Structure 1
């Protein structure tokens, strides 16, 4: 018998390895690492190659198509439900404002007790939160002009305040009609320093919604931009043109007014983050499935109808701590000054005196759902691209193993 450092030779048997010597352990380890199971991020030989497993989930170990598994990491944005206003408890966390109208409207805002007692605020049997302008009480023109008596109406605001998020309003009916000026919007007591976002707003019997923003100086709406609506003023500063703000009109002629209500309303979604404030409108028949299932994914939606980009208006600088607000004012700074031009009959004050003018001045809300943005890191196994047969290096190691073990 002739001894070598790594093996012994026996007549008739050829070379037989002492498999527990260090060099054999090393070779077997390399074979296992390179052939039996791929290792992400580890290239023992610097060849940047990946070997298929000897026992792949799919494929042919003898050289057929092999599907390798690759471990990948990715950041995924999820919108997690944080708050719901809906059903019999809808009004529990809202304050009813009962002071004078800031926009000089000819309305008398009722407190919660008055609003419920008069039947102007209530929850329907099917769970909708309804708010009305009074449409039964006659008023005289003298009462209106002297403002000794004005038409009862509703303005409510959330007790909670929000910074960013995804706000999804499902509305069955919105107010419209000559002299009306309804709005669904957000701001706080520190107006205009903390900004204002008007999500649903227009006057009279307009057919298209207008989204607008009101801020302090040096906030600009980019036009054209990443939205489908038509931009009006691009200066958001409240001091510009008597607080016109910057705004975008929805292209849809059913996003406001009688046609909106006739179609059963729809969904308005506002996404507010550091990059932009975006607003979408979806017809009742076109609400995305992810909204209906409670798993909204704005990244899969079409372009918003309106968007204020942080490129023209640094969002975190101009918007913070907002409460949500619904109101229905009459005449005032916008509906009053545009009344005649809109083709409405008589004067706006005469309109307010007649209760029958406001049978369509109703908010009917199915729900408001507020989602917070959560970014998670996901590491998961994903099927990689198909590979045919063993790689070159797998074949080399297999050959070495065969020679050492069987010769």
Structure 2
């Protein structure tokens, strides 16, 4: 009887998703050894000049603080000729499935014209998919989680605490504006920008499986003990803030994804005329987004990421699916 009970408990443990650490990006200078620096023109047409690592270090855009990584933007130059200097970095390895957990004490704060994002992207955009984990523009006081795909992927409006904003993930969905994708609003003002920073930051977790994606935001006073212990188990967490599941083949739409950080300005979202006009008092400060960003450098002193840790876990019961490898086909 004891033996039978033991075997049943062991079997139950084996059938649960058990996540094990696959990649720890660390919080020292070696962090950037695992990333590529993007220095081409901004693909979202922003007023930004992405710089390489040497330039970023020389100009103070990168710093290695005690136990954290700082990535900021130029906040001293007025009217920069090629756009405001900033960073876009992409992981050298690509991932398929897994649990991505990032601990931040600071993200770019709210400012007119800013557009920061922490996201993942597959090859040949949007064929390999895009997962926006942290994203927002200007004075938004909430995080906007979103997916972007080719045709044939839509989500249900259930199974999460956030507020659905759009359900068709196709970037050219006929009844949605261009490249809106499927999106879920995280109503908490502590989930993004100034609200996040005033609360001392927090932890974002993203679970990606064959059946879909889920994201959670935890303030530092509510991080599950299993995350802190390095043994994350989403099955014991509360209902996710965002969950993407429905009429979508996630295996076909999301694959070989790089992890990306960037902070751009204006561009297709923050610089859109309608968005600029409706972004609080931004339109009263300057007639266009580019004019404001160009002539108000001090507004972006708080436009920095401060990363305590970034870790990727894989399902220990099916580790081959989450195995990182180097990308062969580069994204657009």
TM-score range for the pair, normalised by the shorter chain length: 0.7 to 0.9
Alignment CA distance shift 1:349-1:39 (3 Å): closer
The CA RMSD over aligned residues, in Å, is: 1.6
Gap runs ≥5 in structure 1: 1-36, 41-68, 377-407
Note if 1:363 corresponds to 2:298. Answer: no
Alignment CA distance shift 1:38-1:227 (3 Å): closer
Q: Which residue of the partner structure matches residue 334 of structure 1?
A: 269
Q: 1:202 aligns with which of 133, 136, 146?
A: 136
Superposed CA deviations along residues 325-377 of structure 1, whole A, max 9, x for unmatched, are 0000001111011122112121312211221121111111111011010229x
Structure number with the bigger relative contact order (C-alpha 8 A, sep ≥ 6) is: 2
Distance 1:186 1:274 in 2: 16
Q: 2:17 aligns with which of 77, 81, 88?
A: 77
Shift of 1:70: 5.8
Distance 1:196 1:149 in 2: 27
Q: 1:215 aligns with which of 143, 149, 155?
A: 149
Note if 1:132 corresponds to 2:72. Answer: yes
Note if 1:297 corresponds to 2:242. Answer: no
Q: Which residue of the partner structure matches residue 191 of structure 2?
A: 255
Superposed CA deviations along residues 360-404 of structure 1, whole A, max 9, x for unmatched, are 11111111011010229xxxxxxxxxxxxxxxxxxxxxxxxxxxx
Shift of 1:305: 0.6
Note if 1:375 corresponds to 2:308. Answer: no
Distance 1:80 1:149 in 2: 44
| TM-score where L is the length of structure 1 | 0.72
Q: Which runs of 4+ in 1 moved over 4 A?
A: 37-40
Distance 1:39 1:371 in 2: 32
Distance 1:120 1:99 in 2: 17
Aligned residues of 2:166 and 2:182 also touching (Cα < 8 A)? yes
Q: Structure 2 matches for 1:49-88, cutoff 5 A? A: 71-72=7-8, 73-74=11-12, 75-88=15-28
* Count of aligned pairs: 302
Larger Cα-atom Rg: 1
Q: Which residue of the partner structure matches residue 169 of structure 1?
A: 102
Aligned residues of 1:204 and 1:335 also touching (Cα < 8 A)? yes
Distance 1:70 1:252 in 2: 43
Gap runs ≥5 in structure 2: 319-332
Q: Structure 2 matches for 1:12-161, cutoff 5 A? A: 71-72=7-8, 73-74=11-12, 75-88=15-28, 89-124=30-65, 126-139=66-79, 148-161=81-94
Aligned residues of 1:351 and 1:357 also touching (Cα < 8 A)? no
Note if 1:269 corresponds to 2:205. Answer: yes
Shift of 1:257: 1.5
Aligned residues of 1:267 and 1:282 also touching (Cα < 8 A)? yes
Aligned residues of 2:122 and 2:254 also touching (Cα < 8 A)? no
Aligned residues of 1:86 and 1:127 also touching (Cα < 8 A)? no
| TM-score where L is the length of structure 2 | 0.88
